[in-house]
Amino acid sequence: DVKVTQSSRYLVKRTGEKVFLECVQDMDHENMFWYRQDPGLGLRLIYFSYDVKMKEKGDIPEGYSVSREKKERFSLILESASTNQTSMYLCASSLDGGRNQPQHFGDGTRLSIL
């Protein structure tokens, strides 16, 4: 089974801090994704990556950056955390760009910015 591991289930940080959310997958997947999930809005794509050192902006990249130095790890960075970034963050991976390849998700990180 594919395992996608997010570093924290719950995280509390302060406004202005630089926050790192880590995601690791163990199945040599090419594609990795970061979403945030808010009630009534579903999942919104922040960034995704097709391969190592490659990244593409999603629908809501403002205030975020990402890093993919190794294939198995995709990090989401909140450069200067703000209270409107309080949310559930979900990391996902998929084998490749095939239309039949589902995304496999981590357990999510509930981030609170105080």
Could you list the residues that contact another protein (CB under 8 A)?
Answer: 31, 33, 35, 40-43, 45, 48, 50, 58, 88, 90, 92, 97-108, 110
Residue among 13, 1, 2 at smallest CA distance from 109 = 13
Of 9 and 14, which has the nearer Cβ to another protein? 9
Report how far residue 72's alpha carbon sits from residue 47's, in angstroms, rounded to the nearest whole number: 16
Tell me the three state secondary structure of residue 112. Answer: strand
Of 34 and 85, which has the nearer Cβ to another protein? 34
Report how far residue 90's alpha carbon sits from residue 78's, in angstroms, rounded to the nearest whole number: 14
From the CB of 36, what's the least distance to another protein, in Å? 12
Q: What are the residues facing 19 on neighbouring strands?
A: 78
Of 19 and 36, which has the nearer Cβ to another protein? 36
From the CB of 107, what's the least distance to another protein, in Å? 5
From the CB of 80, what's the least distance to another protein, in Å? 26
Structure tokens at 9: 């289930």
